[in-house]
Amino acid sequence: MLFQAIALALVALGIWFLAHNTQTNMAARGIPSGFDFLSTPAGFDIGQTVIDYNPSESYGKAIWVGVLNTLKVAVLGIILTTLLGVLLGVGRFSRNGLIRGLCYGYVELFRNVPVLLQLLMWYLFMVEVLPPSNESWNLWELFFLSKGGFSMPVPASGVGWNWLFWGLLAGLAAAVVWRQRMFKRFEETGQEGDMIWVPMALVVVLAMVGWLVGGMPTQWDLPEQLVFMVDGGYSATPEFLTVLIGLVTYTAAFVAEVVRSGIQSVSHGQTEAASALGLTPRQTMKLVVLPQALRVIIPPLTNQYLNLTKNSSLAVAVGYPDVVSVANTAINQSGRAVECIAIIMLVYLSTSLSTSVFMNWYNARKAIKER
């Protein structure tokens, strides 16, 4: 305890010295310091926002918009990366040679090309290959893709759709509880319950209940091809699509290798025993291999999630207004470089630690416990 206290005191002393030295030198050169600028008007616009924002609002609001844009890419990227990476990793063990070869080729291609180069490649595809906004590719006149981005239908704003949303969340919660109960029963009795259809039914039924409670709304905000652009619906900018697709395709290659190595770590005798018991290949993968492979997969998978979140800072290369891009603009206008860089560091530190805490909890929950 004594040595830990001494180490902590030395770290605190070092931080104080650096902060005091920086503030003294900035004051001597007439450079303003402090975080009071966060309450002053920003005076610049942000191309894509999750919440309402206008240039007359404060720097603090502008940076918060950048943080939300970063989280939007990170959360969607982690979900899509997990799905694609698991499919590729399991596909490496397919009995179909074509599928196995395609998965291997994907992994070797995307993980060996720098992510920044991939982002630039996808951005060039968005702005050079896709048609102009007045000649968008469309599917059923509902989904539009062009140099102006991707547009799709969304429910019209209203209270009724909010009830559907809450019903959907309640259905997801009920599905999770059901799966946990079935898994616990399987561990105690060996009887396998329905882990797919009943959870899906719970989600659909509770979502329908919310829709009925909300007055059965049917209004949709549909995109429409106009003379010069596509208007209406939900629109994703080319910059957002570039960052999301680039990070997902790049990180999924590493996740696929993590999944492959985790599956290979399970002894071949386990699969042979499962086959001897009459389990199908799907049951063997779901009930025998993956539960044991998770203890090997989750720790390096956490690293890939952290890498994806931190790599989102490269969005500045294609003009996506993430927290780094917004903070850079704030630095150019306010001159508060130290403060803005400190905010960027705090954002990425907090998101990384939050991801680590959640994944460590999940790892402890899924760890194989001996009886």
d(CA 17, CA 36): 22
Does 371 have pLDDT greater than 60?
A: no
Calculate the dihedral angle through the C-alpha atoms of 300, 302, 306, 308, rounding to the nearest 10 degrees.
Answer: 80
Residues 6+ apart with CB under 8 A from 115: 246, 247, 250, 311, 314
Calculate the dihedral angle through the C-alpha atoms of 307, 311, 313, 317, rounding to the nearest 10 degrees.
Answer: 180
**3-state DSSP helix/strand/coil percent for the chain, to nearest 5?**
70, 5, 25
Residues 6+ apart with CB under 8 A from 168: 203, 206, 207, 210
DSSP secondary structure letter of residue 95? S
**Least confident window among 145-149, 163-167, 310-314, 363-367:** 363-367
Share of the chain above pLDDT 70, in %: 97
Predicted pLDDT at 41: 84
**Least confident window among 60-69, 153-162, 341-350:** 153-162
pLDDT digits (tens, 9 = 90+) for 42-81: 888 887 887 888 888 888 888 898 899 899 899 999 999 9
Q: Are 77 and 69 in contact (CB under 8 A)?
A: no
Domains of the chain by residue range: 1-31, 35-113+238-366, 157-218
Mean per-residue pLDDT, 323-331:
87
pTM, to two decimals = 0.80
Does 369 have pLDDT greater than 70?
A: no
Q: Please enumerate, as own/partner, the contacts of 188-191 that have beta carbons within 8 Å and a separation of 24 or more.
A: none
Between 214 and 238, the more confident residue is: 238
Predicted pLDDT at 314: 87
The sign of the dihedral angle between the CA atoms of 45, 51, 56, 62 is negative
Average pLDDT, whole number, for the chain?
83
pLDDT tier for residue 12 given thresholds of 50, 70 and 90: very high
Does 10 have pLDDT greater than 90?
A: yes
pLDDT digits (tens, 9 = 90+) for 192-221: 777 778 788 888 888 888 878 777 777 776
Q: Which of 324, 250, 264 is nearest to 292 (CA)?
A: 264
Predicted pLDDT at 264: 84
* Architecture of the domain delimited by 35-113+238-366: Orthogonal Bundle (1.10)
Residue identified by tokens 């395709």 is 249
Q: Are 166 and 206 in contact (CB under 8 A)?
A: no
Q: Are 240 and 73 in contact (CB under 8 A)?
A: yes
- Coil, strand, or helix at residue 41? strand
Share of the chain above pLDDT 90, in %: 12
